[in-house]
Amino acid sequence: DIQMTQSPSSLSASVGDRVTITCRASQSISNNLNWYQQRPGNAPNLLIYTAFSLQSGVPSRFSGSGSGTDFTLTISSLQPEDFATYYCQQSYSTPPTFGQGTKVEIK
Amino acid sequence: QGQLVESGGGVVQPGRSLRLSCAATGFTLSSYAMHWVRQAPGRGLEWVAVTSYDGGHNYYADSVKGRFTISRDNSKSTLYLQMGSLIAEDTAVYYCARGDCSSTSCRRFDYWGQGTLVTVSS
């Protein structure tokens, strides 16, 4: 199975801050990397697919980059509704696997 | 806009069985692979199983293989997860999620249900 490792596990930031979350795969997954946002008590929601494509309806302050084994999710200017947990997920092979999550908290 | 609604969760004793359902509306279920993903309390996301658009191909996580069975009834627009020999470690919120295309290699989850909680406890 492909292991996905996110960093940091949590971070504190203020509204308006630029936030970067990284995700590393245990082997190359090309660009088969997706990002999800999960607000407390809610289901995950797809933000970014194939490493950098923005899902319909997702604000443009979210962006993704990377390929191979190293990937990044960036929020250009953090908004109050962005405080949540973010997961990366590889869709390269079965079983699809997730990172452990990064919790973005209010500073 | 697609919508998925899970049902069937509850409290069940270890060793017993439970069947979850996931009703799909707003899209043609028979065109998509479907997955189950679970989340233990306070933990991350774990993929459980996938079924192809016609139910002809199914795959499972090692942690549930031989105990869980995924199936679908496209005529009823419903996905199922039959869970057997339940153990405490199966306690989680179970989400159904749509794959982004029809085969089991469609591993991007573009629609999710709200989840149903399964608690395995004596």
Residue A66 has pLDDT above 90, yes or no: yes
**CB of B6 closer than 8 Å to CB of B92:** no
- CB nearest A95 (choices: B47, B108, B109): B47
pLDDT in tens, A22-56: 999 999 999 999 999 999 999 999 999 999 999 99
Tell whether B110 is within 8 A of chain A (Cβ).
Answer: yes
**CB of A103 closer than 8 Å to CB of A9:** yes
Which residues of chain A have a CB within 8 Å of the CB of B61?
95
Chain-chain contact of A99 with B112 (C-beta, under 8 angstroms):
no
- B101: closest CA of chain A, how far (Å): 12
Chain-chain contact of A43 with B50 (C-beta, under 8 angstroms):
no
Chain-chain contact of B112 with A95 (C-beta, under 8 angstroms):
no
Chain-chain contact of A94 with B100 (C-beta, under 8 angstroms):
no
Task: Read off the pLDDT band of B40 (50, 70, 90).
Answer: very high
Q: Centre a 10 Å sphere on the Cβ of residue B37 and count the other Cβ atoms it contains.
A: 26
Residue with tokens 């302050």: A61
Task: Read off the pLDDT band of B105 (50, 70, 90).
Answer: confident
Tell whether B96 is within 8 A of chain A (Cβ).
Answer: no
Q: Report which of residues A31 and A107 the model is more confident about.
A: A31
Q: Centre a 10 Å sphere on the Cβ of residue A15 and count the other Cβ atoms it contains.
A: 12
Residue A78 has pLDDT above 90, yes or no: yes
Please tell me the distance from the alpha carbon of residue B12 to that of residue B39, in angstroms, as a whole number: 17
Nearest C-alpha neighbor of B94 from the set B3, B1, B31, B7: B7
The number of CA neighbours under 13 Å toward the Cβ of A51 is 15
Q: Which residue in A has a C-alpha nearest to residue B58's C-alpha?
A: A94
Residue A62 has pLDDT above 90, yes or no: yes
**CB of A44 closer than 8 Å to CB of A37:** yes
- A45: closest CA of chain B, how far (Å): 7
Contacts of A70 (CB under 8 A, 6+ apart): A22, A23, A24, A25
Please tell me the distance from the alpha carbon of residue A59 to that of residue A78, in angstroms, as a whole number: 11
Q: Which residue in B has a C-alpha nearest to residue A94's C-alpha?
A: B105
Task: Read off the pLDDT band of A106 (50, 70, 90).
Answer: confident
At position B41, the amino acid (one-letter code) is: P
Which residues of chain A have a CB within 8 Å of the CB of B50?
94
Q: How far apart, in Å, are the Cα atoms of A102 and each of A39, A50, A93?
A: 12, 19, 23
Report the relative pairing of strands B58-60 and B3-7 from DSSP bridges. Answer: unpaired
Tell whether B99 is within 8 A of chain A (Cβ).
Answer: no
Nearest C-alpha neighbor of A20 from the set A69, A86, A89: A86
